[in-house]
Structure 1
Amino acid sequence: MPLLDWVNRNQAEETATRVPYHLLKFEKSYGDVKQAKENLIIQGDNLQALKALLPLYGGQVKCIFIDPPYNTQSAFEHYDDKLEHAQWLSMMYPRLQLLKDLLAEDGSIWITLDDNESHYLKVLCDEVFSRKNFVRNIVWQKKYTVANDSKGIPDSHDHILVYRKSDKFLRNLLPRTEKQNQLYKYDDNDGRGRWRTDNLTVKTLSQAYLYPITNPNTGKEYLPSAGRCWLTSSDNMLKLINDNRIYWGKKGDGAPQLKRYLSEVQDGILPTSWWTFDEVGHNDESRKEQKVFFGSEAFSTPKPERLITQILKIATNTNDMVLDSFLGSGTTAAVAHKMGRRYIGIEMGEHANTHVIPRLEKVIEGEQGGISSTVNWQGGGGFSFYTLGGSVFDDNGFLNADVKFKDLASYVWWLETKFALNQTENFDNPFLGIHEGTAYYLLYNGILGDRRPNGGNVLTSSVLNHLNECHAHDGKRIVIGEASRLSPARLEALNIEFKQIPYSLYGNKAK
């Protein structure tokens, strides 16, 4: 597959690996304390924050929506959108790598951009997510007026690139609207309800479905147009005609059309790649929403709540996890909150405090802006605010003294298995779990109750006996600790691999 090349691409490929793992530092919870644990707002560099999230949420995020800088070469109040093209690519590449690792196997990522960088990003995403996992390029009509003062061809749309993690992704149908139901305007008063006309032919050519249909009122025969055939067999077509499910025009002398009954259609409709402003909102609508929340326009190009709602309807269900690592004014988090989704939002600037938190506080209070009336939002819920703490490992690979047992257990498990550790577990012994037939144990931070230096963190015969009491395992075992007093021969005989903190376990992976 062709690859996109740019200055410093090699460094960009290694950035995600080299960025240090950081701890997340809890600052404050808002609203319902229990529900606040499910929703995170993180202030800090999104590259470091994404890396910090991997051991906690790797492979668990159902939907990622990001609205990154469009690289329009403009200077905005809240962020720099004036990167050199190669810098922009180097900024996006490692973030896409980490976002992919956070996605669930049935998850999807949605990225909004305009023509400045969308085509380059398409090539990057083909590489990171695989070309076969490209779902669609959705065109969103973001403006309802034309810039008549433009010297060229004014733009009226943005792109939304959609990729899935794997073929396990299944899109939802969109709910039907009353406007769509009004298309079913005919009724024969035969108890089957309202119907509309539909095409009787399909593109797939089948010789068995090429036959004449005779209008019973005129005797005139009809054949499909060139390159098409009828959608069913002649026997089934005769049944449809006899059952009064074929329409012959107002006077009964026209070509056959199918009667499509409202009562027989799907509960929802298929999403398409063309989203109009009357369907999902436009830029002016989102700016007006901003004024309601903040009293002024916080950002020049925010996204309307209806746009995010459409995405979450297609890509998620209630209680699924949603992530936005370019959170901006907090629209994604606000919509996810109102729709009953769990969420993680990452924002670097001070407006995480000045805009995002106040907006979500209003959501908890029951504000009635945006989609609130549509989803019958009445308030409630909660979220937690975090900042980035110290790195898990220092420049020499040594552990940060602030790292607790559960912190290190999460990083150990992620680095070994590439799966997130169950964060609801209350670890009171060294056993972490079993992955692909291998049992993992961590000796760290006095987990065995011995608080002396290195106490309980060294693998000895007595500690091994205790591990067997914690969780006996017949297969391979990996024990991670500060040192081992057991000989290599005995470890091999017991099918135990010992990994020392930090060098044997991590090497360069710690950074």
Structure 2
Amino acid sequence: MQRRSKPLELTWIDKDEREPVEPHTLVERPESSCGTPDSGPTSGPRANMLIHGDNLLALAALERDFAGKVKCIYIDPPYNTGSDFEHYSDGVQHSAWLSMMRDRLERMKPLLHEDGIIFVQIDDRELAYLHVLMDEVFGRPNRVNLITVKMSEVSGVKMKHVDKRLPKLKEFILVYGKRPNVSIHPIRVTKPPERLAKYLKYYTSIIENPDDAPESWRIVRIKTFMKEAGLKTDAASVQAFQLQERHRVVYRTNNRMLARLSFPTTTAKVISPKGLTYIWWEGKQMLFLSDHCEEYLGDLWTDISTINLNKEGGVAFRYSKKPEALIRRVIELSTQPGDLVLDAFAGSGTTAAVAHKLGRRWIAIERGDHCISHALPRLQKVVSGADPGGISTAVGWSGGGAFRCYTLALRKPQ
């Protein structure tokens, strides 16, 4: 008797039922749009769209113009925690939650560019089910990573039940490509303090004039330099200064290979057969701290602070707001300036704000009233340059660009 092979799949109540999707069109609300359309660093055809409405209907409406054009999708959907948040009803029945996610993921997939990547942030309650669901929608061969992100400190309300369970500190980001073997952009990050310590104790000198030719460099002790500049010289201040000035903080050491060579001057630059650059300075090799204090980013992210997160963007959005630094990392891993970013659960507008500051085009969808009460004013501040928080200082953001605000209307029969 021949067996029929059946694909492995996740099942749940009413899985075969789907939400009806009546054709809708996007209608601009000019009174809420901001800036001169299609101008500035994030300009482009229908770039930068804030859509107030049901994301399932909005995703369907976007498909005609944006199929295959989105390079990065980041979503932070309701976690199905059973808690009622101020702005989200997050206690959806388990099966209903799976159906809700499946329907929206299926609508997002056609919007992805062939080299596009989707990032879905979730906690441990639905992680396992969501992983299998995304295997179904995007294909298991298209898995890229499962990232673990530290999202909390060992303090606060979570410590109330420390005798029953370990405090929950992390969340997860599931990463899938539109196709197998999509490429990401490697990112280098500063090593953790405990691993940096073994390097920092040797790098005690600084080049005063690094832009001059090496033979003209003036090299002094870091503490001497800091004292003359009127800076504090306690251990924490010195370490912060070393990292800030890492490209001119140096350490001189012996190098037997270079010592065998003959140089016409006391200072020389040597290129090795492998293309590595060595600086020879007064009989010793010059090492730079910048070459040793960074490493490639892995799939465990513990370096992004969530302290004072409620103040970012100038809007209060308790419990579900994500750090701009986290979204910056996601966007830089998967896009280049000018690429299109989509967030279908926009919340307070963090993804749109970060994409705008990074020179990416964006589409943000949110059905709740906080689309107008939170996301809209936040993005208006980004455009005007009145948002100095988040990643603004790190990326040199001072304002610019534009966005349009839309609602949904039932499409009339032709």
Structure 1 residue 161, shift from structure 2 partner: 0.7
What does residue 300 of structure 2 align with? 274
Q: Which has the higher contact order (CA 8 A, sep 6+)?
A: 2
Give the Cα–Cα distance (whole angstroms) in 1 for the partners of residues 197 and 360 of structure 2.
31
Consecutive unaligned residues of structure 1, counting only runs of 5 or more, are: 197-238, 245-258, 393-398, 401-511
Give the Cα–Cα distance (whole angstroms) in 1 for the partners of residues 403 and 324 of structure 2.
19
Give the Cα–Cα distance (whole angstroms) in 2 for the partners of residues 370 and 302 of structure 1.
12
TM-score (norm 2): 0.71
- The 5 Å alignment of 1:166-245 reads 166-167=179-180, 169-177=182-190
Relative to 1, partners in 2 of residues 1:268 and 1:389: Cα closer, same or farther, differing over 3 Å?
Answer: farther
Q: Computing the radius of gyration over CA atoms, which structure comes out larger, 1 or 2?
A: 1
What does residue 92 of structure 1 align with? 101
- The 5 Å alignment of 1:60-79 reads 60-79=69-88
Structure 1 residue 177, shift from structure 2 partner: 4.3
Consecutive unaligned residues of structure 2, counting only runs of 5 or more, are: 1-6, 206-213, 216-248, 253-272, 279-284
Relative to 1, partners in 2 of residues 1:385 and 1:126: Cα closer, same or farther, differing over 3 Å?
Answer: same
Relative to 1, partners in 2 of residues 1:162 and 1:182: Cα closer, same or farther, differing over 3 Å?
Answer: same
Alpha-carbon contact 1:299-1:329 (below 8 Å) kept: no
Give the Cα–Cα distance (whole angstroms) in 1 for the partners of residues 198 and 171 of structure 2.
29
What does residue 351 of structure 1 align with? 370
Residues 1:372 and 2:374 aligned together: no
Alpha-carbon contact 1:184-1:194 (below 8 Å) kept: no
Matched to 2:305, the amino acid is G
Alpha-carbon contact 2:151-2:171 (below 8 Å) kept: yes
Give the Cα–Cα distance (whole angstroms) in 1 for the partners of residues 290 and 347 of structure 2.
43
Deviates more, 1:65-74 or 1:267-276: 267-276
What does residue 226 of structure 2 align with? none
Runs of 4+ in 1 over 3 A off after TM superposition: 175-187, 193-196, 261-269
Give the Cα–Cα distance (whole angstroms) in 2 for the partners of residues 265 and 63 of structure 1.
31
Structure 1 residue 184, shift from structure 2 partner: 5.3
The alignment partner of 1:30 has SS state of coil
Residues 1:387 and 2:389 aligned together: no
| Residue 121 of structure 2, aligned match among 112, 116, 119 | 112
Deviates more, 1:170-179 or 1:94-103: 170-179
Alpha-carbon contact 1:58-1:102 (below 8 Å) kept: yes
Relative to 1, partners in 2 of residues 1:4 and 1:176: Cα closer, same or farther, differing over 3 Å?
Answer: closer
Structure 1 residue 86, shift from structure 2 partner: 0.3
Give the Cα–Cα distance (whole angstroms) in 1 for the partners of residues 185 and 130 of structure 2.
25
Relative to 1, partners in 2 of residues 1:145 and 1:268: Cα closer, same or farther, differing over 3 Å?
Answer: closer
Matched to 1:64, the amino acid is I
TM-score (norm 1): 0.58
- The 5 Å alignment of 1:250-289 reads 269-276=295-302, 279-282=303-306, 284-289=307-312
Relative to 1, partners in 2 of residues 1:337 and 1:268: Cα closer, same or farther, differing over 3 Å?
Answer: farther
Deviations 1:107-151 (A, max 9, x none): 101111111111100000011111011111111111122432113
What does residue 139 of structure 2 align with? 130
Relative to 1, partners in 2 of residues 1:267 and 1:337: Cα closer, same or farther, differing over 3 Å?
Answer: farther
Alpha-carbon contact 1:285-1:304 (below 8 Å) kept: no
Give the Cα–Cα distance (whole angstroms) in 2 for the partners of residues 362 and 50 of structure 1.
26
Give the Cα–Cα distance (whole angstroms) in 2 for the partners of residues 21 and 268 of structure 1.
50
What does residue 149 of structure 1 align with? 160
Relative to 1, partners in 2 of residues 1:182 and 1:317: Cα closer, same or farther, differing over 3 Å?
Answer: farther
| Residue 311 of structure 1, aligned match among 330, 334, 338 | 330
Deviations 1:14-65 (A, max 9, x none): x4xx512211111123112223641100010000000000001011100000
Matched to 2:317, the amino acid is A
Give the Cα–Cα distance (whole angstroms) in 2 for the partners of residues 347 and 267 of structure 1.
40
- The 5 Å alignment of 1:16-95 reads 18-28=20-30, 29-35=33-39, 37-95=46-104
Give the Cα–Cα distance (whole angstroms) in 1 for the partners of residues 300 and 308 of structure 2.
18
Give the Cα–Cα distance (whole angstroms) in 2 for the partners of residues 123 and 195 of structure 1.
51
- Aligned-residue identity in percent: 40
Alpha-carbon contact 1:326-1:346 (below 8 Å) kept: yes
Structure 1 residue 312, shift from structure 2 partner: 0.9
RMSD: 3.4
Alpha-carbon contact 2:190-2:295 (below 8 Å) kept: no
Structure 1 residue 300, shift from structure 2 partner: 2.4
What does residue 161 of structure 1 align with? 174
Relative to 1, partners in 2 of residues 1:32 and 1:267: Cα closer, same or farther, differing over 3 Å?
Answer: farther
Deviations 1:174-212 (A, max 9, x none): 14549798875568x999x9699xxxxxxxxxxxxxxxx
The alignment partner of 1:79 has SS state of coil
Alpha-carbon contact 2:47-2:362 (below 8 Å) kept: yes
Relative to 1, partners in 2 of residues 1:264 and 1:363: Cα closer, same or farther, differing over 3 Å?
Answer: closer
Structure 1 residue 268, shift from structure 2 partner: 7.9
Give the Cα–Cα distance (whole angstroms) in 2 for the partners of residues 182 and 52 of structure 1.
54
Give the Cα–Cα distance (whole angstroms) in 1 for the partners of residues 403 and 322 of structure 2.
21
